Structure 1
């Protein structure tokens, strides 16, 4: 980790010492051959050389693809025009995102500079000429160039999504026409709510929607969910306010909605990973309330939800002043955008675990979280991972099976949704162990029934802690987790449950809790006021009132910098001219004023 920080410091120093700009001037994709034309400019009058043009895998920067440079032409001492190409059919790509860089040398020092797009026509072409710029590859994979939210030029490689068809694109543009003609003038003031991939109705979004439906029926609040989802049954009492995902109605409401409310990123309310088309562009600019999936602390996620990015929220819901500090210090949010209310689903928490007198099997939930370094990897890679091997061996250990039988316990192993492709690989011969697929049972209900939770770094730990039930943190890969993901808390000192680093330690702690009736330890209970500001059933009420209080600002004209970020024409102008000191100074002044 220290070496990684040193490398970052060196990069920052070089960036300040030798500021440069790499601008995309042309891009074409024909028969698998991707050609780009770029201009590299050093902002000082020093001479420089270009070493190569690169594609770097975003999730693993050491994975490089070298483009063939076919032409270099110096325009002046500090400006160089380059044409480079690569045939995408002839290289081995990995999922998902590859970023374009140029390696330059100045005074025998080498640095890499990100290629950005400051050309309005190229940006529009890549956003809207979807099929022209998309290459179809074997096994239903596709690849296409695109412009990131911050203007970087990138390439994606992934499997083609279910909704990426000519029919759906036609539906999107028809929805946009209807919106332009009617809905934007009617002003429906819709609040649109969704959860993970628009597939579930069991998290904070569902319970907040339920509150709005029952307590404020006059409010035009709609819930978005896939028609085939098992959780549609949870929405049966509210079906007049349910909108089916990617239906024509959903697309029109998505365009006209005053605010998007979700326990996940905004992108979960639209076709996942699609970065092209008019809908995604409008969605990025919508006011957004982030209800959160869980409490922050155990997992670093600020790279996804940082302030003033595509996922930036008008209101960021938190549970305590402790959590508020994390959002302020790590995510960059001003205090006015952070709302301390508690999570919506906690209003419905009720301890339904069995008492010792009932003579039935008590339940334990084992729910590990995902690992960013294993997300959507090949199955063979997953099966060789420390993660899979550790949990698989634990579930099949004779010691665990015997312990459960001796204490009349049932262990429910809940597979994280991001690891559902590998769910069939988890099994256990013990009759006291259930392997539960995501969606088969409500996680909320499992946690309410449970007497003990075993997890690693999952935010479900807070759910149990809120219910005053014991938690064991199984941290067998702590060093690897800290290096690849990281946390906002000291995972050895600040947690509110027992720590186990080896399977035998975990088994001993389960046995101890079984013998003491699963009573929470006093020194963990004493920390509760630090981590929760409210422990009542009024979290949804506070969230609703805060949204209402801020609703009048949602359609107000944004500060100048926000308009720059949300207007393609102004974006490219900003990227092109921000390197001039006077313009840069003005932009930084506006940015400073907006953050206040």
Structure 2
């Protein structure tokens, strides 16, 4: 089997085939009766998206073609569709032709499935226009392809006193007259093995291939885990297999009811958890189970609607007074790029109405004392009013950090989603893949993306799919105040900063599982190292261990009785200050490494779980060859490297000094000024109303109408053409 690249495929004509099926020996079999195919030929499949081309091994018996499936095993094949071609000689030239067979029934288009590696299957099938193709997919995807169907939410009601959720669903199966609805299935989104089955349903036939399902279930009797449970109808199809059809909402009224009548549609448990139904961004019907948030009390809902009605009254005032809102992580800090940009704007561009959002009880409110005229407290009426009225949200985190982002219902969230967003970044890109969070057209995508160098701009263009006009190379705002404070006094204690990042596979796990992890075991071993402790004491050096805010619940599990080791919780000290005081940084994949490199200080990388990190998170840099510091993979080697840097007075090695110009464009303390100028330059484009395409995507009415009628082929084709015209 040979892999090649092919672009601009233009088949000459179609080759008529017949009798596509799977043999007992797991071979794809079909017959070619076309008399124009008389010379040697090849069977070719071409990936529909990437245009990758693959020649298949096959055997020929008379007019029958036999393609062994064994040649697909051992390949890294993800879900994909491959169109099948026959490459042959015609009139003394090589041509490529589609293979096709005409069938009438939808279910006859699928010939079956053959298992290959990693719970994946090879599925030969005919496209809707009767062309041969191969689908590499999971079993669920196979059943969805073979038995297409729709399940729409029609009615929903909640008795939150008893905990009973009742809903009615309409289901239609295309081309399958005889099917049986067996149950309603709730499936945990991040772990499909976690399922709950509801058998108490009432099913009525409403047509040849249509049924109506009524379900009533007491949610208090189900054993939920956090967070999101998607709701499916389970049906039994041919051969006794079960097909799970996702219930989607195509009712505008239901969308609005679940968003705005949260008191009626929420169950509160005795242990401060809540359960409620909701509609996902893509119209899916789901149930959330999570802890009640701090800002979900009744008074904050009152604040929301008071702010909403005040905005309606003051609409014209805000139209002529554009407001920018700035926040940082969870609206709890004032020490990152957001704060330093706000500080510069307050001092140098006060006429621009820019406000900083922070929680009233945050320790960092003291950093904002000089600027209190432009500070608003998180989730206050004033904050929510300005949030609705603002033209721009500017942040070093996602937009959601400037609002109680877990609050998925109510009037404010829609305004937040629609706001134009300038992303100041939390740190330089390179060590951690985050395009799934900030990719263009995602929930967190930015209208202006701030970067520090052309190297970083290239990542945002290629991996995040941003247009160059939406990227500004300025440098980071907090770098304007960076200075080396590690040599203030020759007698002062030297400091080493140990600052690892978080792990997405350990976020919000139980304490016991966290303590069993490589992360906890590796850093605990380092903190308890006798050699490290002796090194620190003998050389008057302090190690500051700063734990990532996402791991704050696990801080109590890290402990040490070493006098020269401090464990610092998020918010206790400014990260900028720790960086400036430190002579050496030890990190794993944290973007804080760039700050130290910017200050011309050495960095040690401690990557004990590199293989797992590459599998679950990944990086844009080659972590084995492109880093600007030495890499260690165990605590013992790390301590040896620390000793080496202590004895050389923490001098950066020349090989890493040479990399600096590649990664930084500016070093002139004018980054905030450049950011402000870029925003002002593009402000008219940034704050203008969204185009028709964005309006369509954000309209509940249009979305629900689309879900209702997209099953009609004419409507689906028309919708695709309209979207193509608007892009």
Are positions 1:278 and 2:411 aligned together?
yes
The answer for the alignment partner of 1:25 in structure 2 is 154
Are positions 1:335 and 2:433 aligned together?
no
Which structure has greater strand proportion?
A: 2
- Residue 448 of structure 1 deviates from its aligned partner by 0.9
Give matches, 1:305-454, under 5 Å.
305-354=438-487, 358-454=490-586
Name which of 165, 176, 185 aligns with 2:308.
176
- Residue 243 of structure 1 deviates from its aligned partner by 0.6
Measured against aligned partners, the alpha-carbon deviations of 1:206-261 in whole angstroms (never above 9, x if no partner) come to 01111111111110000011111110111111111111111111111111011111
Measured against aligned partners, the alpha-carbon deviations of 1:166-221 in whole angstroms (never above 9, x if no partner) come to 22211211111110011354423110011111110001100111111111111000
Evaluate the alpha carbon distance shift between residue 270 and residue 191 of structure 1 in structure 2; reply closer, same or farther with a 3 A threshold. Answer: same
Give matches, 1:218-297, under 5 Å.
218-297=351-430
* Secondary structure of 2:445 counterpart: coil
Give matches, 1:80-95, under 5 Å.
80-95=211-226
Name which of 609, 621, 633 aligns with 1:489.
621
Matched-pair contact (CA < 8 Å) for 1:149–1:310: no
Measured against aligned partners, the alpha-carbon deviations of 1:564-587 in whole angstroms (never above 9, x if no partner) come to 122211221233334444544454
Are positions 1:196 and 2:359 aligned together?
no
Separation (CA, whole Å) in 1 of partners of 2:725 and 2:344: 36
> Once structures 1 and 2 are overlaid, which stretch shifts more, 146-155 or 78-87?
78-87
> Once structures 1 and 2 are overlaid, which stretch shifts more, 294-303 or 119-128?
294-303
Relative contact order, higher structure (CA 8 A, sep 6+): 1
- Residue 387 of structure 1 deviates from its aligned partner by 1.7
Name which of 342, 345, 350 aligns with 1:217.
350
- Residue 311 of structure 1 deviates from its aligned partner by 1.6
> Once structures 1 and 2 are overlaid, which stretch shifts more, 320-329 or 159-168?
320-329
The answer for the alignment partner of 1:35 in structure 2 is 166
The answer for the alignment partner of 2:642 in structure 1 is 510
* Secondary structure of 1:543 counterpart: helix
- Residue 70 of structure 1 deviates from its aligned partner by 0.9
Give matches, 1:473-488, under 5 Å.
473-488=605-620
Measured against aligned partners, the alpha-carbon deviations of 1:384-404 in whole angstroms (never above 9, x if no partner) come to 332222212211121211121
Evaluate the alpha carbon distance shift between residue 150 and residue 315 of structure 1 in structure 2; reply closer, same or farther with a 3 A threshold. Answer: farther
Evaluate the alpha carbon distance shift between residue 75 and residue 270 of structure 1 in structure 2; reply closer, same or farther with a 3 A threshold. Answer: same
Separation (CA, whole Å) in 2 of partners of 1:169 and 1:97: 23
Are positions 1:63 and 2:189 aligned together?
no
Measured against aligned partners, the alpha-carbon deviations of 1:144-167 in whole angstroms (never above 9, x if no partner) come to 111222322222222111221222
* Secondary structure of 2:645 counterpart: helix
* Secondary structure of 2:505 counterpart: helix
Separation (CA, whole Å) in 2 of partners of 1:587 and 1:211: 47
Are positions 1:122 and 2:251 aligned together?
no
Separation (CA, whole Å) in 2 of partners of 1:486 and 1:111: 34
- Residue 52 of structure 1 deviates from its aligned partner by 4.7
Separation (CA, whole Å) in 1 of partners of 2:526 and 2:607: 13
Separation (CA, whole Å) in 2 of partners of 1:328 and 1:593: 23
Give matches, 1:440-589, under 5 Å.
440-589=572-721
TM-score (norm 2): 0.77
Matched-pair contact (CA < 8 Å) for 1:266–1:288: yes
Separation (CA, whole Å) in 1 of partners of 2:599 and 2:712: 56
Measured against aligned partners, the alpha-carbon deviations of 1:21-59 in whole angstroms (never above 9, x if no partner) come to 432222222222223332334456786665653323233
* Secondary structure of 1:172 counterpart: helix
Evaluate the alpha carbon distance shift between residue 465 and residue 173 of structure 1 in structure 2; reply closer, same or farther with a 3 A threshold. Answer: same
- Residue 590 of structure 1 deviates from its aligned partner by 5.3
Evaluate the alpha carbon distance shift between residue 336 and residue 82 of structure 1 in structure 2; reply closer, same or farther with a 3 A threshold. Answer: farther
Which structure has greater helix proportion?
A: 1
> Once structures 1 and 2 are overlaid, which stretch shifts more, 6-15 or 292-301?
6-15
Measured against aligned partners, the alpha-carbon deviations of 1:305-331 in whole angstroms (never above 9, x if no partner) come to 232232221112222233233333333
Measured against aligned partners, the alpha-carbon deviations of 1:35-92 in whole angstroms (never above 9, x if no partner) come to 3332334456786665653323233333222233513344445544333444321222
- Residue 114 of structure 1 deviates from its aligned partner by 3.4
Evaluate the alpha carbon distance shift between residue 331 and residue 480 of structure 1 in structure 2; reply closer, same or farther with a 3 A threshold. Answer: same
The answer for the alignment partner of 2:133 in structure 1 is none
Separation (CA, whole Å) in 2 of partners of 1:62 and 1:536: 54
The answer for the alignment partner of 2:57 in structure 1 is none
> Once structures 1 and 2 are overlaid, which stretch shifts more, 4-13 or 201-210?
4-13
Separation (CA, whole Å) in 2 of partners of 1:341 and 1:44: 58
Separation (CA, whole Å) in 2 of partners of 1:332 and 1:15: 30
Matched-pair contact (CA < 8 Å) for 1:147–1:154: yes
RMSD: 2.6
- Residue 432 of structure 1 deviates from its aligned partner by 0.6
Evaluate the alpha carbon distance shift between residue 593 and residue 195 of structure 1 in structure 2; reply closer, same or farther with a 3 A threshold. Answer: farther
Are positions 1:101 and 2:232 aligned together?
yes
Separation (CA, whole Å) in 1 of partners of 2:308 and 2:248: 28
Separation (CA, whole Å) in 1 of partners of 2:532 and 2:579: 20
- Residue 508 of structure 1 deviates from its aligned partner by 1.3
TM-score (norm 1): 0.93
Matched-pair contact (CA < 8 Å) for 1:68–1:86: no
> Once structures 1 and 2 are overlaid, which stretch shifts more, 578-587 or 422-431?
578-587
Measured against aligned partners, the alpha-carbon deviations of 1:494-548 in whole angstroms (never above 9, x if no partner) come to 2222111111111111111112222222222222233223333222122212211
Separation (CA, whole Å) in 2 of partners of 1:295 and 1:335: 17
Matched-pair contact (CA < 8 Å) for 2:183–2:201: no
The answer for the alignment partner of 1:10 in structure 2 is 137
Separation (CA, whole Å) in 2 of partners of 1:154 and 1:202: 38
Separation (CA, whole Å) in 1 of partners of 2:401 and 2:580: 27
Are positions 1:143 and 2:270 aligned together?
no
Evaluate the alpha carbon distance shift between residue 191 and residue 430 of structure 1 in structure 2; reply closer, same or farther with a 3 A threshold. Answer: same
The answer for the alignment partner of 2:101 in structure 1 is none
Computing the radius of gyration from Cα coordinates, the structure with the larger value is 2
Structure 1: which 5+ runs fail to align? none
